[in-house]
Amino acid sequence: MTKEITINPVTRIEGHGKITIYLAEDGSVSDAKFHVTQLRGFEKFAEGRPFHEMPSLMARICGICPVSHLIASAKACDALLGVRIPPVAAALRRVMNLAQLAQSHALSFFYLSAPDLLLGMDSDPAQRNLFGMLSANPQLARDGVTLRQNGQQIIELLGGKRIHPGWVVPGGVAEPLSAEKRDQILAMLPNAIAITQQAIHWFKEQLPRFAEEISAFANFPTLHMGMVDRRGNLETYDGYLRIVDAEGNVVEDRMTPEDYLDLIEEAAEPHSFLKSPYYKPRGYVDGMLRVGPLSRLLAANQISTPLANAALQDFRQIPERQSSFYFHLARLIEILYAWEEIQRVLNLPDILSEHVRAHAEPNAFEGVGISEAPRGTLMHHYKIDKHGLITYVNLIIATGHNNLAMNAGVKQVAQRFVRGDRLTEGMLNRVEAVIRTFDPCLSCSTHAVGQMPLHVQLLAPNGEVLDEIAR
Amino acid sequence: MRLVIGIGNTLRGDDGIGVAIAQQLAAQHSAPNLHVITCHQLTPELIGLISQAEQVIFIDASVQQPLGSVQAVPLRVEAAKELSAHHTTPSALLLAAKVLYGAQPCSTLIAVGAQHFSYGEQFSAPVAAALPRAAKLALTLLNMPTARSGDLH
């Protein structure tokens, strides 16, 4: 008799999710599915709006990563205007995108995943939360507070507010940077860099405790996609799309935003509102991709900043670096990169230039904007009519790119840790934790409101619900 | 530093009252050590700011009291239940500030009874009427003069 386990809701991720685990007659796991159960429909209700409203509208997709949507949307609008935005505007957008990446990664690592890493996958769930972490390692908790605060403060200093800033506009940014704000940001960075280095050191010390998780947390070969600069180095704001295979061979390189439809096709599956993009030339599902910090590090040749690059070279020595467990380490390395790169950009001689916006009427009926959001490659594609009104929107969100890999990862973890005759909370936590490594943002990827509880169901072959956990 | 945190979603009717009160305080009253912020919901990074304050006033809408009523509720860390990455309570943040930084600011929640949370930026009449009373209460708690603003009564 097949049995089924459902985890619903999945906790400590952004949005709402459900996991169903199907058991075979012998009690082993035959399949597992990650379901995303909401739909918001931003692609449809933006139709008819003036294109210049898009950055502000799209930022409302998410309260965690509004900046990512602002950036990708503004870039799509730049393409509609047909302008090359002032270099300082691009530099300032880059700083805001990096601050967003750092604060989002800090949320994922220190608030959502550190309780598992610090207290263990089998620890008392009543303690395995932020309160438990405060008691067990207050310094780690303080570091998380500081890093997230730093990222938020940089966004606020640039954009006027932490959430949904309206500073990024089609053609550039609305206001130049003042010397006072630049100096405030620069003053935060040495401490932020030191804290991040400590966190990397702390995480590496924990690794021996998680050998089993490393081996089973979505640890399989896939393609990886990320942006790189013209030298092939890690890029997050404005570069080329690169896809590498599991061996690191470059499959696609120097692809521009306009090429995305040649690379990516989207599939819809009956068990989820979250679409499943894949690498078009290899078909569904062989074209399974991963994106995000791990994939960006696997796709890039190097990192342009010294401390993060040294951390990357260490990371490259890890044999099982394909394991999604290493998303955590990749996140920390990218936080380090963010602080270093912000430091470099803010020390550019013309960074206080007042020429930060290009003005134009629409010069194209179609525009694509791509940037690297914390969770991976974010694609905004718009079409407008002769009045500048939106007629078509296609959004491919980082979490969507990872959907096929998350499903395969849930199945791999369930097959390793779940047995129908002896369900434990720790087993189910691992099933959740593999999802958490991807740091999915379901608010974004279903275009869903709010935080993400998880519902896990265990189903028998006849569909009978044998067990379920909801948090 | 004295810290005022207005909490709410300004696009959901009465839920935005905490933000409106905080914004009115910031616009009409300044003091060198008064820091006013607004947020959709409380998140853990506020712990750092709270730890630097000697006094914290949270202002929020409440469905647990009569529509349009205004209450000042002293906050106790013992009441803290859960500290979530997305949504948490004033007491939880205060407990975290105490555990992590040894900070114990004098803390109060000003709660405004609210019931209408449909989409829109308008408050229901009882909540709109409560705004000046709640702002006046905040000024009293902050030990700031209340007569400077003509619309506070």
The CATH number of residue A292's host domain is 1.10.645.10
Taking residues A225-242, what's their average pLDDT? 97
Residue labelled with tokens 């309780």: A115
Answer whether residue B143 shows pLDDT above 90.
Answer: no
Nearest neighbour of A145 by CB, restricted to B44, B82, B87: B44
A28 and A163, same domain (yes or no) = no
Is B38 within a domain? Answer: yes
Name B5's Cβ contacts closer than 8 Å, sequence gap at least 6.
B22, B37, B38, B39, B42, B46, B56, B57, B58, B59, B90
A88 and A213, same domain (yes or no) = yes
The answer to whether B44 contacts A129, with C-beta atoms less than 8 Å apart, is: no
Taking residues B80-107, what's their average pLDDT? 83
A64 and A33, same domain (yes or no) = no
A326 and A226, same domain (yes or no) = yes
Domain finish residue from A346, A376, A392: A346
Of A371, A367, A350, the residue nearest A87 (C-alpha): A350
Nearest neighbour of A138 by CB, restricted to B40, B80, B100: B100
Taking residues A14-30, what's their average pLDDT? 80
pLDDT in tens, A434-462: 888 988 776 555 433 333 456 777 787 87
Alpha carbons A317 and A14: distance in angstroms, whole number: 31
Ranges assigned E (strand) in A275-342: 276-279, 289-290
Domain finish residue from A320, A346, A372: A346
B31's tokens = 């003091």
Alpha carbons A65 and A311: distance in angstroms, whole number: 25
A316 and A262, same domain (yes or no) = yes
Q: Which domain holds residue B65?
A: 2-141
Answer whether residue A381 shows pLDDT above 90.
Answer: yes
A349's tokens = 């001689």
A167 and A214, same domain (yes or no) = yes
A78 and A9, same domain (yes or no) = no
B12 in contact with A, Cβ within 8 Å:
no
Answer whether residue A3 shows pLDDT above 60.
Answer: yes
Cα B117 from chain centre = 18
The answer to whether B48 contacts A134, with C-beta atoms less than 8 Å apart, is: no
Structurally, how many domains does chain B consist of?
1
B87 in contact with A, Cβ within 8 Å:
yes
Contact, A104 vs A398, CB < 8 A?
no
Is A397 within a domain? Answer: no
Q: Under DSSP, is residue A243 helix (H, G, I), strand (E, B) or coil?
A: strand
φ, ψ of residue A11 to 5 degrees: the values are -100, 165
Axis crossing angle, helix A327-346 with helix A306-315, rounded to the nearest 10: 160
Residue contacts between A and B (CB atoms, under 8 Å): 54
φ, ψ of residue A48 to 5 degrees: the values are 95, -10
The letter for the amino acid at A305 is: T
Is A112 within a domain? Answer: yes
Interface mutation target, options B10, B86, B91, B100, chain A, most CBs of A under 10 Å = B86
Is B37 within a domain? Answer: yes
Axis crossing angle, helix A66-81 with helix A87-106, rounded to the nearest 10: 160
A120-127 contacts: CB < 8 A, separation 24 or more?
A: A120/A209, A121/A213, A121/A426, A121/A429, A121/A430, A121/A433, A122/A424, A122/A425, A122/A426, A122/A429, A125/A425, A125/A429
Is B149 within a domain? Answer: no
**Start-to-end CA span in chain A (Å):** 27
B86 chain-A contacts, CB cut-off 8 A: 14, 450-451
A265 and A141, same domain (yes or no) = yes
The answer to whether B85 contacts A163, with C-beta atoms less than 8 Å apart, is: no
A31 and A127, same domain (yes or no) = no
B145 in contact with A, Cβ within 8 Å:
no
A76 and A29, same domain (yes or no) = no
Domain finish residue from A322, A346, A370: A346
Answer whether residue A280 shows pLDDT above 90.
Answer: yes
A204 and A104, same domain (yes or no) = yes
| CATH number of the domain that residue B95 is part of | 3.40.50.1450
Is A354 within a domain? Answer: no
A107 chain-B contacts, CB cut-off 8 A: 85
Q: Residue A171's pLDDT is what?
A: 97
Is B146 within a domain? Answer: no
Is B124 within a domain? Answer: yes
Q: Which domain holds residue A427?
A: 1-38+404-471
Answer whether residue B88 shows pLDDT above 90.
Answer: no
Residue of A nearest to B48 (CA): A145
The answer to whether A142 contacts B101, with C-beta atoms less than 8 Å apart, is: yes
The answer to whether ipTM exceeds 0.90 is no
Is A366 within a domain? Answer: no
Is A383 within a domain? Answer: no
A33 and A156, same domain (yes or no) = no
Is B147 within a domain? Answer: no
pLDDT in tens, B28-65: 887 889 999 998 888 888 999 999 999 999 999 999 99
Tell me which DSSP letter residue B63 carries.
S
Structurally, how many domains does chain A consist of?
2
A138 chain-B contacts, CB cut-off 8 A: 99-100
The residues of A whose Cβ lies within 8 A of any Cβ of B are: 12, 14, 63, 103, 107, 111-112, 129-131, 134-135, 138, 141-142, 144-146, 148-149, 152, 162-163, 450-451
Is B47 within a domain? Answer: yes
Is A214 within a domain? Answer: yes
B48 chain-A contacts, CB cut-off 8 A: 145-146, 149
Alpha carbons B39 and A442: distance in angstroms, whole number: 21
Is A4 within a domain? Answer: yes
In DSSP terms, which residues pair with A244 in a beta bridge? Answer: A224, A250
Is B148 within a domain? Answer: no
Interface mutation target, options A100, A130, A133, A143, chain B, most CBs of B under 10 Å = A130
B92 in contact with A, Cβ within 8 Å:
yes
Q: Residue A451's pLDDT is what?
A: 38
Is A167 within a domain? Answer: yes
